[in-house]
Amino acid sequence: MLQQTQVKSVIPFYERWMKALPNIRAVAKAPSQRIHKLWEGLGYYTRVRNLQTAARIIEAKQDGEFPVMFADVLALPGVGPYTAGAICSIAFNQPTPILDGNVIRVLTRIFGISGNPRERKVNRRLWSIAQNLVSGTRDCSSLNQSLMELGALICTPKQPKCDACPVIAYCSAHLQNRVEQLPNIAPRLRPTQRQFAAFILERENRFLVRQRPHGVVNAHLWEFPNLEIISEGQDAKESAETLLGVRIKSLEPFWTIKHSITRYRIRMDIWRINEANRLPPTEECWFTLQKLVTLPFASAHKRVLLRLLARNSGARVKKVSTRLNPRPISKTDDPLNNAPSNKRR
C-alpha cells in the first residue's frame, strides 16, 4: 500500500484491510471483487492483484509463511529491490539497502552528488552508498527507517529544515551551500489537458456500467461508459449514440469533474441520457444503485456514483457513506493508457 502513497493516506485503508483480511491465507482466498473493493480509492490497482498473487504463492510454496531471505522476497510479484530491501531490513534487521525518493534526496545532499540520480552510473553509486551504510551497523532496521524519515520530515524537497537536522555537520550540500540544487533531477513534464465524456444511462432503476478489462490501468474496476474527447466540437450526443448503440432523445449535463493524474489535467463531463426508445435492460452490466455501491469503482466514477446516490436521495439506498477516499500521490505511470475500447457493451 505504501508504494507511491503517503502513510497518512494509507492508514485507514490498511486498518480496514487488516480487519477484513487479517492473514496471508485470507488474502489468498479472497474473491477478486473483494480485494478490489477494499483497495478502492488507493489507486495503482496492480498492487492489490500482485499482493494476492504473492499471497497465493506463499500459501502454495511456503506453507503460508512469509519468506525471510532477500532473494525469495524479491521474487514475489510486485516486489522490487526497494520493497524487498525495506521488508528485510525493517522487519528482519538484515543489511539490505533501500533507495526511494526520500533516501535519494538525503544521500545526494549529504554526499554532495551532482549527477542525475536517474542515470545508471549515479544510481549505482547511490545503491552502493546505501549498502555501505547498512553494512556498517547492527541496527539495519533503525538506520533505514531513519533515512526515510529524515527525507520525509526534515530533508524535504523544498525548504529543508537543516537547523533541525541531526546530520548537518556531515552534509556536503549544506557545507557547500548547494542544498537547493540537489538532487539534480530533470524538471517535470509540462501538464497535458485531456477531456472525457461519461454517460449515465438508466432503465427500470438500473444503471449501465462496465468493468475495465484485464491488462489496462484500473483493470477490473467499474466505471460509467465514457470516452475521450479527441476533437474540438465533438458532439456529445453523437458520441454517446456511437458508444452505447442507442438512439438518444436528449442529454442533460449532470456534473463536471476536474482532477489530475500524474501530468494529466483531466476534465470529465458527465451527461444524463434520455433515450428515444426506453428499452428494458438487456445486458449483464445493468445494476441497481444498491448493487453499484458494492462494486469497486475507479475514483472519478466513484464520485459520480456518490452524486447519483445523493440526487436519487436515500429513499432507495440507505446507509451509504458519502466520504470520498483519499487519493494516491506522485504517480509515475500513465493511468489513462490502454483505456478500454469505446465499443458498445
- Site residues for ligand SF4 per CB under 6 A: 106, 109-110, 154-155, 160, 162, 165, 167-168, 171, 173-174, 179
State the minimum distance, in angstroms, from the CB of residue 146 to ligand SF4: 12
Task: Identify which of residues 154 and 185 has a Cβ nearer to ligand SF4 in the complex.
Answer: 154
What is the three-class DSSP state of 263?
A: coil
Task: Identify which of residues 25 and 125 has a Cβ nearer to ligand SF4 in the complex.
Answer: 125
Task: Identify which of residues 21 and 155 has a Cβ nearer to ligand SF4 in the complex.
Answer: 155
Cβ–Cβ < 8 Å for 224, 270: yes
Nearest residue to 260 (alpha-carbon basis) of 313, 202, 300:
300
State the minimum distance, in angstroms, from the CB of residue 183 to ligand SF4: 10
State the minimum distance, in angstroms, from the CB of residue 112 to ligand SF4: 10
Task: Identify which of residues 155 and 197 has a Cβ nearer to ligand SF4 in the complex.
Answer: 155
State the minimum distance, in angstroms, from the CB of residue 256 to ligand SF4: 42
Nearest residue to 38 (alpha-carbon basis) of 75, 57, 55, 13:
13
Within a 10 A sphere around the Cβ of 150, how many other Cβ atoms?
21
State the minimum distance, in angstroms, from the CB of residue 98 to ligand SF4: 16
- Provide the CB-side half-sphere exposure for 113 (13 A, CA): 24
The Cα–Cα gap between 74 and 94 comes to 14
Task: Identify which of residues 42 and 155 has a Cβ nearer to ligand SF4 in the complex.
Answer: 155
State the minimum distance, in angstroms, from the CB of residue 134 to ligand SF4: 17
φ and ψ of 127, to 5 deg? -60, -40
Task: Identify which of residues 12 and 112 has a Cβ nearer to ligand SF4 in the complex.
Answer: 112
Task: Identify which of residues 114 and 294 has a Cβ nearer to ligand SF4 in the complex.
Answer: 114
Quickly tell me which residue has 533516501 as its cell: 103
Question: What separation in angstroms does the CA of 183 have from each of 103, 121, 123, 155, 339?
Answer: 11, 15, 12, 11, 34
State the minimum distance, in angstroms, from the CB of residue 181 to ligand SF4: 11
What is the three-class DSSP state of 66?
A: coil
What is the three-class DSSP state of 102?
A: helix
Return the bridge partners of 251, or none: 273
Return the bridge partners of 131, or none: none
